[in-house]
Each structure stands twice: as C-alpha cells, then as structure tokens.
Amino acid sequence: GQQVMQIPQYQHVQEGEDFTTYCNSSTTLSNIQWYKQRPGGHPVFLIQLVKSGEVKKQKRLTFQFGEAKKNSSLHITATQTTDVGTYFCASYGGSQGNLIFGKGTKLSVKP
C-alpha cells in the first residue's frame, strides 16, 4: 500500500532558527495534507496541497509540493516555542479513501 516516509524523526532547534521536515513517497500522490499535534493533544489540520509544484504560506510556515507530486516539505522560519509539537504529513492511500500518515517529525524549541 501507499506509504509516506517522513524525515527527520526528531529536530531540536534554538528559538529563532529555521526548521524543515520532509515527506517522500515512491508513488505519485494525489494530494498531501499536513497536521500538527501538540504534546498531549490531537492532530490539527494545517493545509492541503493538490497541484504539482504548489507552494502555500501561512505566516512563518511554507508548504511545498514537489513537481512530480512525490515529495513535500514544511518549512518554519524563525521558530518560536509555540511551534513545539509533532508535524505529520498524510496522503490518501489506495482506492479506499483512507488517509495514511507519515511517522511525523517531533520539533522541540529551546528558548
């Protein structure tokens, strides 16, 4: 079945540094979604990318979808302590419509 591989698994940064997490697939993805889960919380939808080469921004967050629609990235500029959490990419797998999540990148930010 379809899988999305996410790297790195963990990232520790100093507040103010940038952060990037990458999501890769061996197959072409119809779309990619990104979620954030705060410690002890539940996943919260951030954004969806559908088009090849698409770039979307939300304040300090920049989301990209690769030209071949096999990879995606989330970049945070000048991290803040409020960015702490685990960031997941996800894509709909197979023909059944279930959303498959990557293993996530856990971000910690040192003040």
Partner 1 sequence: NAGVMQNPRHLVRRRGQEARLRCSPMKGHSHVYWYRQLPEEGLKFMVYLQKENIIDESGMPKERFSAEFPKEGPSILRIQQVVRGDSAAYFCASSLTGERSPLHFGNGTRLTVT
**97 sits near partner 1 (criterion: CB under 8 A):** yes
Q: Can you tell me which of 15, 28, 38, 44 binds partner 1, judged by CB under 8 A?
A: 44
**Residues in binding contact with partner 1, number by CB under 8 A:** 25
Q: In what order do the strands lie in the sheet with 55-58?
A: 5-7, 19-24, 71-76, 61-65, 55-58
**3 sits near partner 1 (criterion: CB under 8 A):** no
* DSSP assignment string, 26-73: SS--S-EEEEEE-TTS-EEEEEEE-STT-EEEETTEEEEE-TTSSEEE
Number of H helices, E strands in the chain: 0, 11
Instruction: Return the number of the residue (18 or 70) whose C-beta is nearest partner 1.
Output: 70
Interaction residues for partner 1, span 52-91 (CB under 8 A): 88
**50 sits near partner 1 (criterion: CB under 8 A):** yes
Residues that bind partner 1 (CB under 8 A): 1, 30-31, 33, 35, 41-45, 48, 50, 88, 92, 94, 96-104, 106
